[in-house]
Amino acid sequence: MKKILTLVLSLVALNGALLANPTTAPAAPAARPAMPTLPKITLPADLQALIKQFDTQRDAILAQRRADLEKLKNATEADRAKLLAAMKAKGMEVSAEQRELARTIREELKKLRAARKTTGG
């Protein structure tokens, strides 16, 4: 029994010594391969202008909506009904314009992609 206890204690001590001072260094993680660089594609000026127009219109719409919401806070019930009706009408008109502009941008991008596929790059 004494021999078994001594053997177990010596194994525990040996194991602790091995863990505290490893003789082999842990393997370093494998280096990640470099990401491939894709060619930068420059959009035509007319398409860039359409995108800029879309962004400008969106910012103007949001600013107008914020201003209208501020007016609603201080409006009477009668004025509130008029403002809401005007906001609804204007919102439908503006969203139709934005949708059409977005559709035009998407169609132009599809044309560019198709042209790139046929030319190979």
Please name the amino acid found at residue 4: I
Give the pLDDT of residue 117: 85
SS3 74: helix
CA-based radius of gyration for the chain:
35
What parts of the chain have a pLDDT lower than 70? 1, 5, 7-9, 11-26, 120-121
Query: The whole model's pTM is what?
Result: 0.60
Sequence-distant contacts of 91-97: CB under 8 A, at least 24 apart:
91/65, 94/57, 94/61, 97/57
Q: Which letter does DSSP use for residue 75 in this model? A: -
